[in-house]
Structure 1
Amino acid sequence: MGIEYAHIYSDQQFSRQHERGIAELLKLSAGPGIKKIVLVDDYSPDPSSQCLDIRDFLRNLSRRNAAPDVAVFESELVPYCEAVLELIANKKLKKGLSDYYGSRLKYPCSLFVAAWYLLRLGFFGTPRFECITGSSEHLYTDKIVTILPDSYMVPEARALEIIESTGGSTLLENIEHVFFAHQEENYSDFDDFDAHEYVERNYGCKIRSEDRQIIEFVTSVLSDMGIAPDSLQRVADVGVGPNLYPAMLISSLISNGGRLELIDIGAKNLDYLEQVLNRTDAEQLRTWKIYEDHIRELGLPAGLKKLSIVSSTTMGSIYELEPNRYDAVLSFFVADSITDMLSEFVEATDSLMNSLQPDGLFVVAHMVGSHGYSAGHRTFFPAVNLTLEKIEEIYTRYGSFRIRMATCGSGEAVREGYDGMVVIVGKKFA
């Protein structure tokens, strides 16, 4: 068995992330016949930014009883990427990878991972190329276990899709992953928030149990409240990010002459929303069509078409909203996911609720027990570690509401330390 761990880029240094990967390795690496493998990505980073001292990195691993048997530079895999690309039978998949190379003159991470796994499982015979340490002949194995931060889940899933399309599908059962919660030494800038990666990981495969519970709860409460269709004139989804299902939930309540302002501080998130609403991204439209269908099954005439008519995107901050502007506000996973300080969470929530007119509708959701999250595999963003009791205490000052804790199934938590999602539907005090 070959266990890969401590993946590093040549513009990085040894960090907390690598410590966590080593901890997972030490749980697995006892026993005969195990080869410890490290892959160093010297291909993706800009050459001018490369600062890794590879000898120092290997010494750090050795001091932690995690010296690799084989370490390889990713650039050695380029010929295998070319070979894998030629073997892909799925024309759409092949075109997407070719277009990626055509626009960037580099192969995507998913193609490298696919080539790397096929190579190590013997698909190309005995591998022969220069290694940082050890010999390429020792890379061959009948089983692969890869230890990575959970921010790599999307490219890893795409790599398996590539392998399945190359004639190596029978090898997939020999590939396993151990994902741990991604962390960095410092928080990322929100300009680096990767909307496509975030959507694919959190919304792209299926409707999660928590989101399904939220959608069903909000639909039920809105029905009980008796808010007439087409009755809302001015609505905001504040900190919308790339998540469209809250806006779809409220869309049927907005009049044809009304407006839904999709507000976010991130330019990439706004670009993503415009691509979906303008129907220029077919793949993302398919993702949100699943949510549209589910909301319609529950009796709300929600839809992306109505959303594209009544909504507009606006760059803005939750901290800088105009008071008494909106008939209704939405805000899902925002005030709790832009800071790790409770005082700043309260400040953001105050601003949100102050933007709402008296007797206005609010629909909000927060993570419970979160310690941070990623949106792109080299990012890490803050979160406030909230409890259900603290959320209830804070919202009691704003109005009357109903509240629900949505929980996940076993092994399906979206973040480390995460206990669930709280959704609140209410009316502001008149």
Structure 2
Amino acid sequence: MDLRTPQTANDPVRTPVRRLNSEAPWDAFDPAAYVDHNYGSLRSDDAKILEIVRKHFADHFRDSPDHGGERLRGIDVGAGANLYPALSMLPWCGEITLFETSTANVAYLNDQRVSYDPHWDQFWAALCEQDVYARRVADPRADFRRAVTVERGNLFDLRRRPAGWQIGTMFFVAESMSTSEAEFFLAVERFMEALAPGAPFAAAFMEGSLGYKVGEHSFPACSVSAADVRKSLSPFAEGEEVAITPIGMPGGALREGYEGMIVACGRRGSE
């Protein structure tokens, strides 16, 4: 799930209590409150993330045109109530799986798949600053509807699925689902194992997160740094090369209890 929170700035940040992913109340997640707080308007941090990710994917497919126009299979792991990671893959994908564990978020995603809400247009417009997006996608709602499938599942179970997604994203998931460092590293491993060799990927992380509230419910987080992100991704990346970009808090903090955001881009290495 994409788990940045609608917690207000004056809420106290409690000392984190150890909590595993399986112990958190994911089905009680409130996508309406979450989207209203996070995505009603395009924040400067999301704009920076979109800038980095759109360039990464555009550069990859310009420099590695191995698929000869073939439409790819993409996956957004832990999609939550955030559509822009999937939109970032849309020009190159014939299929995009939105893989999500919360029943509430699955319902939201299925509703958005039919015709997503107007506030997502500003995110698409930001992607279109890289001209390949507008050039390859004349009608993003129609292409989104055709390409997207929503699948409920636990990311730890991805190993049971045949690997082979050819492009992938995972935004604010691995560090925002558990206080366990071991579960953080395992979540990243499962994401990377789901991708085919050579697949471009983009991932985003909350830096130094101490946990958060969504509505009346508290959710766990694992405090990670840019070094932790590199350590988690490098063993699975092409040549162990991952571009790590800390973006801090442009425009101010989204909430209390974190130190910034981190974007990571690279390619899945060969088996």
Q: TM-score, normalised to structure 1's length?
A: 0.54
Amino acid at match of 1:391: V
Secondary structure of residue in 2 paired with 1:179: coil
Which residue in 1 is equivalent to 2:234?
A: 396
Q: Aligned runs of 1:26-45 on 2, under 5 Å? A: none
CA distance in 2, matches of 1:230, 1:291: 25
Which residue in 2 is equivalent to 1:219?
A: 54
Which residue in 2 is equivalent to 1:104?
A: none
Residue 323 of structure 1: how far off its partner (Å): 4.3
CA distance in 2, matches of 1:393, 1:220: 23
From 142, 155, 173, give the equivalent of 1:318: 155
Residue 230 of structure 1: how far off its partner (Å): 5.2
Residue 182 of structure 1: how far off its partner (Å): 5.8
CA distance in 1, matches of 2:113, 2:12: 32
CA distance in 2, matches of 1:386, 1:211: 19
Which residue in 2 is equivalent to 1:190?
A: 26
Asked if 1:416 is matched to 2:248, the reply is no
Residue 247 of structure 1: how far off its partner (Å): 0.5
CA distance in 2, matches of 1:323, 1:278: 27
In structure 2, the CA distance between the partners of 1:292 and 1:197, relative to structure 1 (3 Å rule), is same
Which residue in 2 is equivalent to 1:381?
A: 219
Q: Over alpha carbons, which structure has the higher Rg?
A: 1
Secondary structure of residue in 2 paired with 1:180: coil
Asked if 1:210 is matched to 2:42, the reply is no
- Which fold has the larger relative contact order, with Cα–Cα distance below 8 Å and residues 6 or more apart in sequence? 2
From 181, 186, 193, give the equivalent of 1:342: 181
Q: Aligned runs of 1:15-414 on 2, under 5 Å? A: 151=6, 179-181=10-12, 188-204=24-40, 206-225=41-60, 226=62, 228=65, 231-254=70-93, 258-279=94-115, 285-299=117-131, 300-301=133-134, 303-321=140-158, 322-376=161-215, 378-399=216-237, 400-409=241-250, 412-414=252-254
**Is the contact between residue 261 and residue 312 of structure 1 (CA under 8 Å) also seen in structure 2?**
yes
**Is the contact between residue 176 and residue 220 of structure 2 (CA under 8 Å) also seen in structure 1?**
yes
Residue 291 of structure 1: how far off its partner (Å): 0.9
In structure 2, the CA distance between the partners of 1:292 and 1:191, relative to structure 1 (3 Å rule), is same
CA distance in 2, matches of 1:386, 1:217: 20
CA distance in 1, matches of 2:166, 2:219: 31
CA distance in 2, matches of 1:402, 1:220: 12
In structure 2, the CA distance between the partners of 1:409 and 1:423, relative to structure 1 (3 Å rule), is closer
Amino acid at match of 2:220: P
**Is the contact between residue 180 and residue 222 of structure 2 (CA under 8 Å) also seen in structure 1?**
yes
CA distance in 2, matches of 1:315, 1:179: 34
CA distance in 2, matches of 1:235, 1:199: 23
Amino acid at match of 1:202: N
Q: TM-score, normalised to structure 2's length?
A: 0.83
Secondary structure of residue in 1 paired with 2:151: strand
- Aligned identity (percent) is 27
Which residue in 1 is equivalent to 2:265?
A: 425
Secondary structure of residue in 2 paired with 1:207: coil
Residue 420 of structure 1: how far off its partner (Å): 1.5
CA distance in 2, matches of 1:365, 1:236: 15
CA distance in 2, matches of 1:427, 1:213: 20
Amino acid at match of 1:192: A
CA distance in 1, matches of 2:255, 2:12: 7
Secondary structure of residue in 1 paired with 2:267: strand
Residue 396 of structure 1: how far off its partner (Å): 1.4
Amino acid at match of 1:294: A
Residue 252 of structure 1: how far off its partner (Å): 0.5
**Is the contact between residue 230 and residue 252 of structure 1 (CA under 8 Å) also seen in structure 2?**
no
Residue 375 of structure 1: how far off its partner (Å): 2.2
Across the two proteins, how many residue pairs are aligned to each other? 247
Residue 362 of structure 1: how far off its partner (Å): 1.5
1:365-417 Cα distance to aligned partner (Å, 9 max, x none) = 111011112222x111111100111111221111132221122136x212323
Residue 290 of structure 1: how far off its partner (Å): 1.4
CA distance in 1, matches of 2:7, 2:99: 28
Secondary structure of residue in 1 paired with 2:81: coil
CA distance in 2, matches of 1:356, 1:151: 31
CA RMSD of aligned residues (A): 2.3
1:179-221 Cα distance to aligned partner (Å, 9 max, x none) = 22465988750011000101111111x2112111110011112
CA distance in 1, matches of 2:124, 2:141: 7
